[in-house]
Amino acid sequence: MSGNISVRYELQRSDFSLDVGVDIPMRGITGVFGESGAGKTALLRCIAGLERRASGRLVIAEEIWQDEAISRPVHEREIGYVFQEPRLFAHLNVRQNIEYGQRRGRREDVGFDEAVELLGLRHLLERSVDTLSGGEAQRVAIARALLRSPRVVLMDEPIASLDRARRDEILPFLDRLHAVLSIPVIYVSHSIDEVIRLCDYLLVMERGRIVASGKTQDVLLRTDLPMLGGEEAGAIIHAKALVHDPEDGLTKIAFDGIEMWVPGAYDTGARLRLRIRANDVTISRENPGPSTVLNVLPASIESIDADGESSELVRLAIGSEYILARITRRSRAQLDLRPGEPVLAQIKSVAVKNAPATGR
């Protein structure tokens, strides 16, 4: 698929206004991140045509769905909407629920068997929907949306209402969708963890406006967005596994000619996604000598931004990649750190995940 999803919408409510204009890639998963009340759901509802009072313009890969003159009704917009609650039809069984959209579709990009396999629903097909667990119900809702053969899938916090265990049960299915299907997904979430795990692109919303957009790893490095800060502030780096050391349970990986050790066993050549939190990175001027920190990498300071009462976020360039480090203002003064200077970045811990097969 080519082209963009071009979205421009205005919506006025008594206590809230939405005013957005953004182009979303017609591939991969685009996260919409923000606190509750930021307008994430309103944006999805506008795209779906469920907000009648919204005015704007919506173009999906050169096809105009809405502008001043026309507005396609909801059922003529080829979208797959996965709501926060499963919204299954209680009078139909699992199979009939899944087939509801398929029967009304014009195309069949995703086959019944493919969707059922992808979401592991084969053994549930003849079940009544009120016998399903929360996670199962949401998987049925996802399959139902996919079988409508949508041009774009809209997911509104599909796992937010589930408990931790159910969430972990569904996430691998979302990873698989991402790897196997070429349908673009717009994924609303208020969890930075989810966004980091799933999304290739990221929109950040605040009070009905989009305050940042771009590739996930680029947006995450923005030190001027307070909502991305906090405990979870950090960077994502794409790397390749080089060699596994079974004795210590570590794998040597490389990105952009720079090597480091990460925990876990990965096949040589495997594509990895590293997540390095700002809280796990410290900075020193000189080599600290023998240390428990495995990875000490040469870096240069890109920028330093205030981050709360006593701390600052430092953006470090390592090769062509960037990571964030959170340091105290006092340390910055003592070491007299300034942008452009070479330093050493000590990385205390790294979270590693196999990168999706497609998406970049």
Residue 237 CB, nearest approach to other proteins (Å): 37
Interface characters, 78-107, with other proteins (x: CB under 8 A)? xxxx-x-x-x-xxx--------xx--xx--
Specify the residue for token string 């119900």: 137
Residue 112 in the binding site for other proteins (CB under 8 A):
no
Nearer to other proteins, 50 or 59 (CB): 50
Nearer to other proteins, 75 or 123 (CB): 75
Residue 50 in the binding site for other proteins (CB under 8 A):
yes
Residue 146 CB, nearest approach to other proteins (Å): 11
Residue 48 in the binding site for other proteins (CB under 8 A):
yes
Q: Is 227 left (phi over 0), alpha (psi -120 to 50) or beta?
A: alpha
- Helix and strand numbers (H, E) in the chain are 8, 20
Q: What gap in Å lies between CA 43 and CA 208, rounded to an integer? A: 9
Residue 1 CB, nearest approach to other proteins (Å): 20
Residue 160 CB, nearest approach to other proteins (Å): 16
Reference 316, options 350, 352, 285, 344; nearest CA is 344
Going from the C-alpha of 200 to that of each of 28, 238, 319, 320, 358, the distances in angstroms are 6, 12, 21, 18, 10
63-66 sheet: strands from edge to edge: 16-25, 4-13, 55-60, 63-66
Ranges within 128-147 binding other proteins (CB under 8 A): 130, 144-145
Residue 104 CB, nearest approach to other proteins (Å): 3
Segment interacting with other proteins, rule: CB under 8 A, options 7-15, 72-80, 276-284, 321-329: 72-80
Strand partners, 135: none
Residue 81 CB, nearest approach to other proteins (Å): 4
**Of the candidates 13, 36, 63, 74, which one interacts with other proteins according to CB under 8 A?**
74
Nearer to other proteins, 141 or 318 (CB): 141
Tokens of 345: 């970045």
What are the residue ranges of helices labelled H in the chain?
40-48, 94-104, 112-118, 134-146, 164-180, 192-198, 216-220, 329-335
Reference 213, options 59, 38, 61, 32; nearest CA is 32
Residue 75 in the binding site for other proteins (CB under 8 A):
yes
User: Which residues are at the interface with other proteins (CB under 8 A)?
Assistant: 48, 50, 73-75, 77-81, 83, 85, 87, 89-91, 100-101, 104-105, 130, 144-145, 148
